[in-house]
């Protein structure tokens, strides 16, 4: 390695002198591009969770549709991530939505009104309505979670949870779970590239592709295990298991009105429960 | 034999929109030893991945032996151009060293006898001849890296591309890889290497291609590329000339990219 450092100058983005002059790494505390991004991570998480719960609680078609529009579509479009949210949440929701629609459309019990018949199967109006209700709920939940995921940096969420007194072990688990998927995808594609470079045929017949899986699985799993071990060691070396509260160099801001927003949102849940229990509701 | 030609090659990564290659024209003849150098992110690895079809050009052409690389699968190009990647942990998968090296030749459909010889020869070249039955994960980082080089050598391709072959190697490992480069050249095979190790580049390569921001900014012999006049260009892509070149320039010996060149120039001056 000594050989390397002798002849190569470091990363151009980070000249040595500048590193000392700047007290914190550049990514830390960098504000998000929009005011939605800049909301406290817990606020965005609360919005996502309450949206999901309300989409189920409200029942009918109008209520969940309004929730979907107000809490998912509107912020997503205003934040400029509309297309991304639609694409991802439809991918998430589609399998469940399609199967639930088919089952209810044709097999909802006690549904007298026939829409049309397909061989032995009878599609009913009641079934269609119920299917629509389910699809809207599923899409609303998928959309709310996707919007949260896309507009929140994992590091911000982890830091914020830690500031609120959550155990570092727990926040670490949250953080690694969220970041693991893209890392695994990245690793798997690098491994696939290396094996294809050695003649592994991933473009041929299904049988050839099946045979090609083994050389990809091995290093993916070995690497993931290795990474866990190395990460544990690195954390340990930096005093991860040391008892006591950590001093945070930076954490996302959490103004009083956001706290108000969060509590109001949470309070809508018992309100709706009571209203629904009383027998009221939107169509 | 196999000649590589890149014409107006542009590559834009679809996910990030990064224009990693921005109009590359390069011709590498059979049997050349070419080093690709340049700062991190200058496009070296992206270029290498076009040579075996792993990446497809956004614009422009990649011609392997006069044939458009787009018309061939990666698996079939692997028989002509073998690319050895940087990180051993992202490719080694077999239970034994011999099986790992055998993977490429088997994909190429060679008979068992031919494969056995190829594996033995390749392992011999990297100094792992006695480790045929060892588990690759018992080898240690630097020898595992040599294993990946062996598994590419065994494929006997006319073109061998090495991405950062000397990373993590001690002097003996670097010397071994240098010997491999020379041996490949002696067999008339083309070697393209990406490296940040300027001393290694100056000693073992006949041609040095310097990249910056997806373009080629210098292309010549080590004596040309590491000559004092070119230092500002090297600095613009965060490279420094090898120590021998600096010494030579300070002593007014002309361009002396290697220690041998310094000695020769000094001898010539005192004679």
Q: What ipTM was predicted for this assembly? A: 0.84
- The model's confidence at residue A15, banded by pLDDT at 50, 70 and 90, is very low
Look at residue A109 in the predicted model and tell me its pLDDT.
86
pLDDT in tens, B204-215: 999 999 999 999
Nearest chain B residue (CA) to A220: B90
Tracing tokens 């829409």 back to the chain, one arrives at: A115
pLDDT of B110-166, one tens digit each? 999 999 999 999 999 999 999 999 999 899 889 999 999 999 999 999 999 999 999
Structure confidence by residue, pLDDT tens digits, A43-98: 999 999 999 999 999 888 899 999 999 999 999 999 888 888 998 898 889 888 99
Segment A182-217, tens digit of pLDDT: 777 888 888 888 888 898 887 767 777 777 777 778
Structure tokens at A238: 């930096």
Measured CA to CA in angstroms, residue A89 lies from A44, A55, A182 at distances of 17, 15, 17
What b-and-e string marks burial along B30-39, b requiring 16 or more CB atoms within 10 Å of the CB? Answer: ebbbbbbbbb
Chain A residue set in contact with B, beta carbons under 8 Å: 1, 3-4, 6-12, 187, 190-191, 193-204, 214-219, 222-223, 226
Q: Which residues pair with B10 in a beta bridge?
A: B22, B59
- pLDDT score recorded for residue B2: 74
Residue A220 has a pLDDT of: 78
**CATH for B4-80+157-270, options being 3.30.70.141, 3.40.50.300, 1.10.150.120, 3.10.290.10:** 3.40.50.300
Give the C-alpha separation, B98 to B150, whole Å.
10
Asked if the Cβ–Cβ distance from A198 to B155 is below 8 Å, we say yes
Closest chain B CA to residue A187:
B90
Q: What is the mean pLDDT of chain B?
A: 93
pLDDT digits (tens, 9 = 90+) for B81-120: 999 999 888 888 888 999 999 999 999 999 999 999 999 9
Share of chain A above pLDDT 70, in %: 88
pLDDT (tens digit, 9 = 90+) per residue, A224-243?
Answer: 787 778 888 888 888 888 88
Radius of gyration of chain A (CA): 25
Q: DSSP character for B17?
A: -
B157–A contact, CB cutoff 8 A: no
Assess contact for A132 and A63: CB atoms under 8 A.
no
Pinpoint the alpha helices (H) of chain A.
Answer: 2-7, 16-21, 41-57, 62-67, 74-79, 82-107, 125-151, 154-163, 168-196, 206-211, 214-237, 256-277
CB-neighbour burial class of residue A283 (10 A; exposed 0-12, middle 13-18, buried 19+)? exposed
User: What pLDDT score was predicted for residue A248?
Assistant: 83
Q: How far is CA B153 from each of CA A211, B89, B150, B189, rounded to the nearest angstrom?
A: 23, 18, 5, 11
Q: Tokens 């992206």: give the residue.
A: B46
In the prediction, which pLDDT does B261 show? Answer: 95
DSSP, collapsed to helix, strand or coil, labels residue B22 as: strand
Q: Which residue of A has its CA nearest to B74?
A: A196
pLDDT at B188 over 90: yes
pLDDT at A189: 85
- In order, the DSSP letters of A144-156 are HHHHHHHHS-HHH
Residue A26, pLDDT score:
52
Q: Which residue has 């600095």 as its token pair?
A: B235
CA–CA separation, B85 and B107 (whole Å): 18
Q: Is the pLDDT of residue A108 over 80?
A: yes
**In this model, does residue A13 exceed pLDDT 60?**
no
Chain B residues with beta carbon closer than 8 angstroms to that of A215? 93, 103
CB–CB contact B40 A201 (8 Å): no
């Amino acid at each position: 390695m000594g050989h390397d450092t002798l002849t190569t100058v470091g990363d151009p983005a980070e000249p040595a002198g500048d590193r000392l002059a700047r007290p914190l790494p550049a990514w830390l505390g960098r504000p998000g591009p929009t005011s939605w991004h800049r909301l406290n991570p817990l606020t965005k998480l609360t919005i996502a969770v309450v949206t999901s719960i309300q989409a189920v609680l409200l029942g009918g078609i109008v209520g969940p549709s309004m929730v979907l529009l107000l809490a998912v579509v509107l912020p997503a479009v205003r934040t400029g991530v509309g297309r991304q949210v639609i694409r991802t949440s439809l991918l998430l929701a589609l399998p469940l939505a399609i199967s639930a629609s088919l089952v209810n459309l044709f097999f909802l019990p006690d549904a007298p009104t026939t829409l049309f018949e397909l061989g032995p199967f009878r599609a009913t109006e009641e079934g269609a309505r119920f299917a629509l209700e389910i699809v809207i709920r599923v899409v609303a939940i998928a959309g709310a979670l996707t919007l949260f995921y896309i507009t929140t940096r994992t590091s911000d969420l982890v830091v914020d949870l830690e500031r609120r007194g959550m155990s570092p072990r727990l926040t670490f688990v949250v953080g690694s779970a969220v970041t693991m998927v893209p890392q695994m995808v990245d690793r798997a594609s690098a491994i696939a590239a290396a094996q294809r470079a050695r003649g592994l045929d991933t473009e041929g017949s299904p049988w050839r592709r099946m045979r090609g899986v083994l050389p990809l699985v091995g290093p993916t799993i070995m690497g993931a295990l290795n990474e866990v071990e190395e990460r544990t060691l690195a954390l340990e070396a930096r005093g991860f298991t040391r008892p006591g509260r950590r001093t945070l160099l930076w954490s996302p801001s959490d103004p009083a009105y956001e706290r108000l927003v969060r509590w109001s949102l949470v309070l809508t849940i018992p309100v709706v429960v009571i209203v629904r229990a009383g027998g009221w509701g939107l169509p | 034999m196999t000649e590589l030609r890149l014409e107006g090659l542009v590559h834009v990564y679809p996910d990030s929109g990064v224009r990693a290659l921005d109009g590359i024209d390069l011709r590498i003849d059979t049997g050349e030893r070419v080093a690709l150098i340049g700062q991190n992110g200058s496009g070296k690895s992206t270029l290498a991945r076009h040579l075996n079809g792993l990446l497809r050009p956004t614009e422009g052409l990649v011609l392997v032996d006069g044939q458009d690389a787009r018309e061939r699968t990666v698996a079939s190009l692997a028989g002509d151009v073998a690319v050895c990647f940087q990180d051993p942990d992202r490719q080694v998968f077999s239970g034994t060293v011999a099986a790992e090296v055998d993977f490429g030749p088997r994909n190429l459909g060679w008979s068992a006898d031919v494969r056995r010889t190829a594996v033995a020869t390749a392992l011999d070249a990297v100094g792992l001849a006695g480790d045929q039955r060892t588990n690759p994960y018992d080898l240690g980082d630097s020898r595992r890296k040599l294993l990946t080089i062996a598994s590419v050598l065994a494929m006997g391709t006319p073109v061998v591309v090495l991405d950062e072959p000397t990373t993590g190697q001690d002097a003996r490992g670097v010397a071994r890889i240098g010997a491999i480069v020379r041996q490949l050249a002696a067999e008339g095979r083309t070697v393209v290497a990406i490296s940040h190790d300027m001393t290694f580049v100056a000693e073992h390569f006949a041609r040095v291609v310097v990249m910056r921001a997806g373009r080629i900014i210098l292309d010549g012999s080590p004596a040309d590329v590491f000559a004092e006049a070119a230092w500002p260009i090297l600095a613009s892509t965060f490279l420094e000339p090898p120590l021998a070149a600096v010494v030579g320039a300070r002593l007014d010996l002309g361009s002396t990219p290697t220690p041998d060149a310094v000695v020769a120039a000094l001898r010539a001056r005192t004679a």
